């Protein structure tokens, strides 16, 4: 079940952190880069965030999270994470579809690691195209993707 997450609550913030730590650890292994900033976030960082968080619950457990910011007609997806045991079950796609439908009038952008092939394929399946490559650190190239209108 998809729902808005009240990320300013301690218990919810802790659940978000738990999901993203597992997901970003897996991404770090995949892309060969361990300094992903979200791996060092704690509940206080989540609780202070100005992002909107939505999540999918499975049997009472938070299985996936998408957060975004909306400003001046632009929607920026900040994070899309799924617990590894729920990979390839459509959770990321459902979260993304929900946000894209709800904010269909907005230009939508997202960034991910160039080597994060599963994420790139997911975004491409939702009509995103790569518009820019940025060297973010040694051994890390980010791609910026924009949803085609």
| Predicted local distance difference test score (pLDDT) of residue 139 | 83
Phi then psi dihedrals of residue 142, to 5 deg: -100, 145
| Predicted local distance difference test score (pLDDT) of residue 91 | 97
Return mean pLDDT, the chain: 95
| Predicted local distance difference test score (pLDDT) of residue 138 | 82
Given a cut of 80, whether residue 117 has pLDDT beyond it is: yes
Q: Which residues pair with 107 in a beta bridge?
A: 74
Structure tokens at 118: 């599963």
Average pLDDT over residues 111-124: 96
> Closest by alpha carbon to 112, among 86, 66, 145?
145
Given a cut of 90, whether residue 17 has pLDDT beyond it is: yes
| Predicted local distance difference test score (pLDDT) of residue 55 | 98
Given a cut of 80, whether residue 149 has pLDDT beyond it is: no
For 29-44, write each residue's pLDDT tens digit: 999 999 998 999 999 9
pTM of the model: 0.93
Average pLDDT over residues 114-138: 95
Long-range contacts formed by 37-40: CB under 8 A, 24+ apart? 38/79, 38/81
Given a cut of 80, whether residue 63 has pLDDT beyond it is: yes
Residues 6+ apart with CB under 8 A from 100: 108, 126, 147
Given a cut of 90, whether residue 21 has pLDDT beyond it is: yes
Average pLDDT over residues 123-131: 97
For 81-100, write each residue's pLDDT tens digit: 999 999 999 999 999 999 99
């Amino acid at each position: 079940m998809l729902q808005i997450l009240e990320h300013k609550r301690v218990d919810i913030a802790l659940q978000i952190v738990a999901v993203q730590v597992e997901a970003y650890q897996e991404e770090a292994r995949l892309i060969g880069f361990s300094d992903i900033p979200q791996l060092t976030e704690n509940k206080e960082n989540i609780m202070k965030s100005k992002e909107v968080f939505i999540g999918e619950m499975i049997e009472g457990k938070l299985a996936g999270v998408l957060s975004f910011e909306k400003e001046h007609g632009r929607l920026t997806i900040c994070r899309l994470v799924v617990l590894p045991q729920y990979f390839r079950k459509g959770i990321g796609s459902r979260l993304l579809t929900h946000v894209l439908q709800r904010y269909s009038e907005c230009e939508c952008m997202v960034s991910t690691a160039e080597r994060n092939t599963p994420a790139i394929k997911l975004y491409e399946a939702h009509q995103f195209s790569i518009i820019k490559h940025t060297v973010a650190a040694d051994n890390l190239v980010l791609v910026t993707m924009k949803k085609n209108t």
